Copies of this chain bind each other. A is one copy, B any other.
Amino acid sequence: MIVMKSVEDVVKKYFDRSVTDRERAIFEGAVALGAIYHQFLGIPVCKDEGIIRTLEETISKTMKLQPYRESVEVKINADEIKGEKSHAYDYETLKGRHLDVKVRTKFGNTRAIVRMRHIPEIEFTLMYIEKMEEV
């Protein structure tokens, strides 16, 4: 049986020894953003509050399982999504521009706050490091 300490110790061996806690926090946050975009895009959605809330909650709870996540906040911009279903083909699928995601990761004494959201100025769903904190 592998106990908690040893798994994390095994993992540590694989990382370049020059990597700092701050860099590790950034690494973990960035993995989360890439994962969320490519896992959840394409899911059918409509402007129904209940459906949007449940989907936000699922993304948040499941992606928080990955290592060193403190929180995963997900906001789906309902304003950008088609209204409630009025006929059989009246819905759309989740796109990058619908998403506003903020992930907090913590490694050692450093917290990285990374974010993904649509930036109209460049018409791109940008992933970036919003803030670094010592804790």
Contacts and interface: CB of A to CB of B under 8 A. Distances in A.
A135 interface: no
A64 to B, nearest CB: 8
Interface string A1-28: 0111101101100111011001110111
B65 A46 contact: yes
Interface residues of A, number: 72
Nearest to A113: B16
The winner among A18, A26, A55, A115 for most chain B CB atoms within 10 A is: A26
Nearest to A19: B129
A87 to B, nearest CB: 4
B43 A39 contact: yes
A121 interface: yes
Interface in A101-127: 114-115, 119, 121-122, 124, 126-127
Nearest to A61: B51
